[in-house]
Amino acid sequence: MIRLKTPKEKIVFEDLVHGKVETDSELLGDIVIAKGLDNPLYNLAAVIDDFEMQITHVIRGEDHISNTPKQILLYQALNLKIPQFAHIPLILGSDRSKLSKRHGAVSVNQYREEGYLPEAIINFIAFLGWNPGDNREIYSINQLIKDFSLKNCHKSAAVFNPQKLLWLNGFYIRQKNLTKLTELCIPYLIKAGLIKEIKDTEKLPPVFGQEPTGQKYLILETKEMTDSIAIEKMILLYQERLKILSEIADLTDFFFKKDLDYNPKLLKWKDADNDMILKALNLLEEKLSSVEESDWRKQTLLDLIGPEAEIFKDGNRGYLLWPLRAALSGKDASAGPFEIAEALGKDKTMERIVKAKELVAKG
């Protein structure tokens, strides 16, 4: 063992977070700095490494504050310039115990794979132990660069709150340009096996009867073609409710499926029986079939079906609109029926209404 003979004196340094810190060197004893000539221990290695890299500020967790007096003694013994030290608060779980995987502590790469945006992660991490001095919670990278200061770091431990990260991520998703958000979501749709990117677009049929304006994709289950512009319409429906990008596949999978698998009871609104549901679906089929493909837009469909929903039964719109939404999505929660119908297009909308009628008839 190689030890550093510790002088009998107080070791004092100014921590950029904790202020003046004093340690009695007699409490340290003669510090072990190496196991042998070729085997330095942490404190000696850290001092030499920081000196070689010309480190001016050592910023680390407060659990290292006990190492700082030992390292200062080494700096002095080697006649090296002592850097400034800042010991920031540790991050604890929601139960204020040491942070672990059960609290959501995983690698940054895993968060990115799940669909957390870099700006949300940076914003979240910046506020773990730091505060700008006001009530602002949303900070861009440029704002952080401008306003961040070690002087505003807390002395007490920070608590890791995964729900706060989720909220921040949802906020940044809502701020995304739709084209960029679609670009970020498409890999999750590909991973879920819903679409496949087409590299060679020669001799492929036009999308929805028109030449595509974006990258082409093959819908795997239906073998139909779509493009990034069509997918944008689907993404737009869920931009407001999307919290992480990986959710997009489960939210929008019904757009890409040939047949929806759902219990016919899903079509039931309140006390509606099968006859009432069939009556609603027949009315929807009759009215919607009269709309020209060129007029197939949310507002047109709303103007046509909205008044019918008001008078269909007891003035309760749900008796007509719930079966429509359920028939188109096969889900108990989704975007509105007219938004879905516009994104699906007339042909698919009519097909799904007919299949819903068949399901009810069988039931």
Q: Domains of the chain, with CATH numbers?
A: 2-88 (3.40.50.620), 92-174 (1.10.1160.10), 177-255 (no CATH), 264-362 (1.10.10.350)
HSE at residue 148, side-chain half, CA atoms within 13 A, is 15
Q: For residues 83-105, give the mean pLDDT.
A: 80
The DSSP output letter for 130 is B
Q: Which residue has the tokens 């505003």?
A: 152
Tens digits of residue pLDDT in 239-256: 999 999 999 999 999 999
* Tens-digit pLDDT profile for residues 115-155: 999 999 999 999 988 888 888 899 999 999 999 988 888 88
pLDDT given for residue 208 in this prediction:
44
320: pLDDT strictly greater than 50: yes
So what's the pLDDT on residue 209? 45
pLDDT over 90, % of the chain:
72
Whole-number Å distance between alpha carbons of 63 and 55: 20
Q: What gap in Å lies between CA 69 and CA 144, rounded to an integer?
A: 31
Question: What's the N-to-C CA distance of the chain in angstroms?
Answer: 83
Q: Residue 236's pLDDT is what? A: 96
Q: 45-80, pLDDT tens digit by residue? A: 999 999 999 999 999 999 999 999 999 999 999 999
Which of 184-189's residues contact partners 24+ apart within 8 Å by CB, and which partners? 184/115, 184/117, 184/245, 185/231, 185/235, 185/245, 185/248, 186/217, 186/228, 186/231, 188/115, 188/245, 188/246, 188/248, 188/249, 189/231, 189/248, 189/249, 189/252, 189/256
Please, which pLDDT band fits residue 25 given cuts at 50, 70 and 90? Answer: confident
Taking residues 305-332, report their average pLDDT: 94
Q: What is the mean pLDDT of residues 273-285?
A: 96
**Cα atoms found within 13 Å of the Cα of residue 172, Cβ hemisphere only:** 23
Question: Is 210 or 288 the better-scoring residue by pLDDT?
Answer: 288
**Three-class SS of residue 361?**
helix
Contact 151, 16 (CB under 8 A): yes
Mean pLDDT value across residues 273-300:
96
pLDDT in tens, 190-241: 999 999 998 765 555 554 444 555 688 999 999 898 999 999 999 999 999 9
- How far is C-alpha 346 from the chain's CA centre? 33
Convert the pLDDT of each residue in 253-278 to its tens digit: 999 999 999 999 999 999 999 999 99
The pTM assigned to this predicted structure is: 0.82
Average pLDDT, the chain: 91
Residue 195 near residue 256, CB atoms below 8 Å: yes
Q: Which residues contact 207 (CB under 8 A, 6 or more apart)?
A: 216, 225, 226, 227, 230
